[in-house]
Amino acid sequence: MSYEELLAEIKSRGYWRVEIHSTEYQDNRLSGRAAMQNLLSSATVSLRGWPHPYFPDFPAKDTAYNGKWLEGQVNSGYQKEYWRLYKSGQWLHWLGLSGAWITRERLFEGRSPLPPQHPGYLHIRGDVLFTLTEIFRFAVGLAQGGVFDPTAFLSIQLHNTHDYMLFENFERPFFLSYQYVNPSNRLIEQQKSVPVGQLSAVADQIALDMAIEVFSVFDWVPSVAAVRMLAEDQKKLIERRL
């Protein structure tokens, strides 16, 4: 499958679109393919046993470079990604939602009764909180590579989630008693500009805050206790204790 075909497939269902760049544009922050590969190799995070973003073990073979940008993809079952890194340091990433590609019966195997049928499902931690945490941890890595001086701008969008339902693996009362569904077909977008020197210190908190904003679109406003639970789960992820 070509890059164009994969991107079209990702966009056909729910997906994240991430854009990160410096607030001050410079055309050639990265000198070429080797510099781009080195930056991605050092910035990629692996908190759940697989890399974010997907960066292949053999980038010279499994990525494409045209003199202006480096691009890569993965298309394996429900794991669908396409990304592009420009010589300016700009990062673009399209990431399919796993719950948009897994059937309800497989996703909720063993649960009875099954939740109502929806076009897609978002796990509150895996698809939202943990993904946002990985995005910001990756941004920190890019910043440490020197491509965002003096300020990093992040645009994080969640597309095509109308009538998608939030879900949780554990038997937690608020997800047994209620259904949290996105009633809107509007794009969910959050933007943030952060000085490079502060990004590492605030990245995890911003990711948690953004996750809570996403939940609110699905009509779930977490209680203080639920926010503490989410923060602890995020800490476990970062410390690789999950």
- pLDDT tens per residue, range 158-215: 999 999 999 987 555 555 557 899 999 999 999 999 999 999 999 999 999 999 999 9
Output the six-digit token pair for 110: 């063993």
Residue 155: its pLDDT value, please?
98
Q: Give 114: exposed, middle or buried? Use CB within 10 Å, 0-12, 13-18, 19+.
A: exposed
The pLDDT of residue 125 is above 60: yes
pLDDT of residue 172: 57
Is the pLDDT assigned to residue 30 strictly greater than 90?
A: yes
pTM confidence score: 0.95
**Number of compact structural domains in the chain:** 1
In 3D, which of 77, 75, 129, 81 has the Cα closest to residue 103?
A: 77
Domain with 229, as residue range(s), is: 3-238
Q: Taking the CA of residue 80 as centre, how many other CA atoms within 13 Å lie in the half-sphere pointing to its CB?
A: 26
Rg of the chain on CA atoms, in Å: 18
CB 152 within 8 A of CB 136: no
Q: Mean pLDDT for the chain?
A: 93
Average pLDDT for 80-90: 97
DSSP-derived pairing of the beta strands 151-159 and 15-22: antiparallel
Distance CA 28, CA 60 (A): 20
Question: What is the predicted pLDDT for the residue at 18?
Answer: 98
According to DSSP, residue 17 is labeled E
Please name the amino acid found at residue 139: A
Sign, Cα dihedral of 20, 211, 48, 5:
negative
- Nearest by Cα to 40 from 27, 57, 25: 57
Tokens of 86: 């420009």
Calpha distance 74→83 (Å, rounded): 9
Q: Is the pLDDT of residue 56 over 90?
A: no
Q: How far is CA 172 from CA 54, 130, 176, 177, 229, in A?
A: 32, 18, 7, 9, 11
Strand partners, 193: 153
